[in-house]
A and B are shown apart, each in its own frame.
Chain A
Amino acid sequence: MASVFCFGSGVCTGFLEWFGNLGIFFWQVLKAVVTPPYEWRELIRQMDEVGSKSLPLVALAGAAVGVVLSMETRESMTRFGAKSLLPSAIVFAVIQEMGPIITGLVVSGRVGAGIGAELASMKVTEQIDAIEASAINPYRLLAATRILACILMLPLLTVAADAGGLLMGWVAQTLAEPISLHHFINTGFSGATLRDFLPPTFKTAVFGLIIGLVACFQGMRTRGGAEGVGRAATNSVVLASLFVILADVVLVKLILVVFH
């Protein structure tokens, strides 16, 4: 019966095995997180690492999306005679979907590759074994701190992407047809509630979990020297981006059902 769903049993068992190992890894990390000692210092260092390194990228990507969105929406809205809805359209599009997903993807690339490569090179040079040999739980010191940092920083980075997107969305508007930022924001947010904006922003914490978990998992299971390190970095990025997009589908539906 299972073969109906699997085109090749090799691919299928490989896939199931990967998920099984990911689950075991996640369980190890969870166990380490809830028991002392807590790694506050390393957590703060990782939050800084994730936050400060991704902030300019995320804001820039958000800004670019804001401009594009602004130009294209203007075109279509004008054609259908709904130009007065333009600010709202941009605000909702940026905050509800573009900001979160852009942040998720940019961080998947920047942080996913970073964590994947860092942990992989520590693994192949036996540094992770050395941590374990000094009676320190590497899941707690290395994985838990990085995953938590991603979970905590993603919503903040999303706010930065949103801000960049709205600001440049407004700039693009006002270049085409002058409108004050104040007026743009006021009309854009009129009729909107926190319920519209908070869930999409906080759903990125789930993206953070996915990125951190996948990158740490890929890094810490690496084998095979320098080549393995490269592979771990690539796989971290590819799998993290893929799962972020897939999770987005589920989360959007979930938010629609729960909050509307």
Chain B
Amino acid sequence: MATAYDIAMEQAEIKQDGGAPVVAVENLQKAFETQKVLNGMSLSVSRGETLAVLGRSGTGKSVLLRLIIGLDQPDSGSIRINGQEIVGLALDGMGEIRKKMGFLFQQAALYDSLTIAQNVAFPLERHRGEMSRSERGDRVEQLLAEVGMEGDLDKMPSDISGGMKKRVGLARALALEPEILLLDEPTAGLDPISSGEIDDLILKLQRERQMASIVVTHDLHSARTIANRLALLDQGNVVIAGSFEDLERSEIKFVKEFLK
């Protein structure tokens, strides 16, 4: 029999769960041959939070995202998704976790044998078998409209621009309504207007679906708009993490130079 005490405890646990980080990275180390890329990095993101990851080119931002979705294995350290350790997990074990994650690659990585619409439909065909063909078609159109790509459904990836590819890649990443969004420079190569639209979309998703996002970006303006928290990386580590104002107030030379 559940006593009032049990119920209260349960509720407390649920509350605690809600505040617990969705993605928690601890003491991550990754080297390629002799080159140390990540050097004991730790960071975390909670539900409804957007973390912007900043840093110079080649500091390992893309490597960090690839590790979080398990495409590469770290040399040491821990990565927990919703509390579950994924380091060392085999391909099959990662499947269920990855269905809850959306990933945008730095170069978009669209399937070049499929059209734009088929690219976005691909995850739906695979994991939403219960959807009818017309439902899927509607969903694809809606996703592409959200990123401003409603006009080019039947074009091939080789026939669209880099910025357009990025937007299609984002639509594909959003197809399964993920809980966790990992975006590698979503607004790189976009004009200010399109970039603003993507920022608005990310903000909307964060508000409406309480999505947890990690967004790698070089665009300080965009980072300031979308992120609750920013993390600045250098030499394989987080130099500073906090709100934009925290970063602006910092006395660290590297941070000052970076924000200049």
Q: Mark B80-112, 1 if CB is under 8 A from A, else 0.
A: 000000000001101110110101010101111
A125 close to B69 (CB less than 8 A): no
Q: Using Cβ atoms and an 8 Å threshold, which residues of chain A touch B127? A: 134-135
> Is the C-beta of B148 less than 8 angstroms from some C-beta in chain A?
no
B111 close to A127 (CB less than 8 A): yes
8 Å CB interface, A1-49 against B: 28
> Is the C-beta of B126 less than 8 angstroms from some C-beta in chain A?
yes
Q: Using Cβ atoms and an 8 Å threshold, which residues of chain B touch A125? A: 107, 109, 112
A130 close to B111 (CB less than 8 A): yes
Most buried by A among B107, B126, B127, B172: B126
B71 close to A133 (CB less than 8 A): yes
Q: How many residues of A contact B (CB 8 A)?
A: 15
Complex CA gap A139/B69 in Å reads: 18
B103 close to A133 (CB less than 8 A): yes
Contact pick for A135, options B98, B105, B110, CB 8 Å: B98
Complex CA gap A141/B66 in Å reads: 21
Task: Given A127-B111, A127-B112, A129-B71, answer yes or no on A134-B123 (Cβ-Cβ < 8 Å).
Answer: yes
B94 close to A135 (CB less than 8 A): yes
Among residues of A, the one whose C-beta sits closest to the C-beta of B176 is: A134
B99 close to A135 (CB less than 8 A): yes
> Is the C-beta of B244 less than 8 angstroms from some C-beta in chain A?
no
> Is the C-beta of A137 less than 8 angstroms from some C-beta in chain B?
yes
Q: Using Cβ atoms and an 8 Å threshold, which residues of chain B touch A137? A: 91-92, 95
> Is the C-beta of A75 less than 8 angstroms from some C-beta in chain B?
no
A135 close to B111 (CB less than 8 A): no
Among residues of B, the one whose C-beta sits closest to the C-beta of A135 is: B98
Q: Using Cβ atoms and an 8 Å threshold, which residues of chain B touch A136? A: 126
Q: Using Cβ atoms and an 8 Å threshold, which residues of chain A touch B105? A: 126, 129-130, 133
Complex CA gap A49/B177 in Å reads: 34
Complex CA gap A132/B99 in Å reads: 10
- Minimum Cβ distance to chain A for residue B21 (Å): 21
Q: Using Cβ atoms and an 8 Å threshold, which residues of chain A touch B126? A: 134-136
Complex CA gap A136/B125 in Å reads: 11
Task: Given A127-B111, A129-B109, answer yes or no on A134-B122 (Cβ-Cβ < 8 Å).
Answer: yes
- Minimum Cβ distance to chain B for residue A143 (Å): 12
Q: Using Cβ atoms and an 8 Å threshold, which residues of chain A touch B92? A: 137
- Minimum Cβ distance to chain B for residue A187 (Å): 50
Among residues of A, the one whose C-beta sits closest to the C-beta of B95 is: A135
Contact pick for B109, options A130, A135, A139, CB 8 Å: A130
Among residues of B, the one whose C-beta sits closest to the C-beta of A140 is: B91
8 Å CB interface, A101-152 against B: 122, 125-127, 129-137, 139
8 Å CB interface, A211-260 against B: none
Complex CA gap A240/B190 in Å reads: 44
Complex CA gap A132/B89 in Å reads: 14
A134 close to B98 (CB less than 8 A): yes
- Minimum Cβ distance to chain B for residue A169 (Å): 40
Q: Mark A92-107, 1 if CB is under 8 A from B, else 0.
A: 0000000000000000
A135 close to B103 (CB less than 8 A): no
Among residues of B, the one whose C-beta sits closest to the C-beta of A37 is: B126
8 Å CB interface, A157-204 against B: none
- Minimum Cβ distance to chain A for residue B70 (Å): 8
Among residues of B, the one whose C-beta sits closest to the C-beta of A129 is: B71
Q: Using Cβ atoms and an 8 Å threshold, which residues of chain B touch A122? A: 111
Q: Using Cβ atoms and an 8 Å threshold, which residues of chain B touch A135? A: 94-96, 98-99, 126-127
Task: Given A132-B71, A133-B103, A135-B99, answer yes or no on A126-B94 (Cβ-Cβ < 8 Å).
Answer: no
Complex CA gap A131/B98 in Å reads: 11
Q: Using Cβ atoms and an 8 Å threshold, which residues of chain B touch A129? A: 66, 71, 105, 109
A133 close to B112 (CB less than 8 A): no
8 Å CB interface, A38-67 against B: none
Closest 4 CB pairs of A and B: A135-B98, A126-B109, A130-B109, A133-B103
Interfacial residues, chain B to chain A (CB-CB below 8 A)? 66, 69, 71, 91-92, 94-96, 98-99, 101, 103, 105, 107, 109-112, 122-123, 126-127, 172, 176
Interfacial residues, chain A to chain B (CB-CB below 8 A)? 28, 122, 125-127, 129-137, 139
**Other CB < 8 Å A-B pairs besides A125-B109, A126-B105, A133-B98, 4 of them?**
A129-B66, A133-B105, A134-B126, A135-B95
User: Can you name 27 A-B residue pairings with CB atoms under 8 Å?
Assistant: A125-B107, A126-B105, A126-B107, A127-B109, A127-B110, A127-B111, A127-B112, A129-B71, A129-B109, A130-B105, A130-B109, A130-B111, A132-B91, A133-B101, A133-B105, A134-B98, A134-B122, A134-B123, A134-B172, A134-B176, A135-B95, A135-B99, A136-B126, A137-B91, A137-B92, A137-B95, A139-B91
